[in-house]
Amino acid sequence: MNPSRMNVESFNLDHRLVSAPYVRVADRKELPHGDVITKYDVRFTQPNVAHLDMKAVHSLEHLFAEHSRNHSGAVIDFSPMGCQTGYYLILQGEPDNAAVLDLIEATLTDVLSATEVPAANEVQCGWGENHSLSAAQEAAKAFLAQRAVWDQVFA
């Protein structure tokens, strides 16, 4: 193992060279019984330049996690990055990249028409009052407006 290489894939990515917004395969794992999972870096804002508001991050996580499963049974998880610049989308298998982009587009389109953030309450969420539907919709709208460049990771 290269001692300068870190275990976490994104720690080996030079965040100064990427050009958000984008969607890229961040990792692929073959599990012991042959199943494959693929992790996507769904980057909403330019690293170290801009970030999403925490209420937007949290609400978009709930909205995407709930609505994406209406479009695909391959969704395993949709998790926010701690840096608040994007999310990791984990899917079963090795989906076609175009299909993944279509899944993201369809789900974010659902977000735009949502009337509430799913499970945004103290029973179903660890910080139920930390949500903003309008902030999540603004982030989704901005990301969707750049659909043509999602497959371009580097400037």
CATH label of the domain that carries residue 47: 3.30.1360.80
Spatial distance between the Cα atoms of 20 and 44, rounded to a whole number of angstroms = 6
Is 139 inside a domain boundary? Answer: yes
Is 2 inside a domain boundary? Answer: no
Q: For position 65, what pLDDT does the model report?
A: 98
Q: What is the torsional sign of CA 126, 48, 101, 131?
A: positive
> What is the extent of the structural domain holding 38?
15-148
Is 6 inside a domain boundary? Answer: no
Is 125 inside a domain boundary? Answer: yes
Is 136 inside a domain boundary? Answer: yes
Cα(first)–Cα(last) distance of the chain, in Å? 30
Spatial distance between the Cα atoms of 155 and 149, rounded to a whole number of angstroms = 10
Is 154 inside a domain boundary? Answer: no
Q: For position 155, what pLDDT does the model report?
A: 85
Q: For position 2, what pLDDT does the model report?
A: 56
Is 21 inside a domain boundary? Answer: yes
Q: For position 4, what pLDDT does the model report?
A: 85
Mean pLDDT by 10-residue block, N- to C-terminus, for the chain (155 residues)? 81 97 97 98 98 98 98 98 98 97 98 98 98 98 98 95
Q: How many domains are there within the chain?
A: 1
Is 61 inside a domain boundary? Answer: yes
Q: Are strands 36-43 and 86-92 parallel, antiparallel or unpaired?
A: antiparallel
Phi, psi dihedral angles at 65 (to 5 degrees) = -60, -40
Spatial distance between the Cα atoms of 105 and 76, rounded to a whole number of angstroms = 17
Q: For position 3, what pLDDT does the model report?
A: 61
User: For the chain, how big is the Rg over CA atoms in Å?
Assistant: 16
Q: Is 26:41 a contact under the CB 8 Å cutoff?
A: yes
How many other C-beta atoms are found inside a 10 Å radius of the C-beta of residue 132? Answer: 19
The structure's pTM equals 0.95
Cβ contacts of 115 within 8 Å, gap of 6 or more: 133
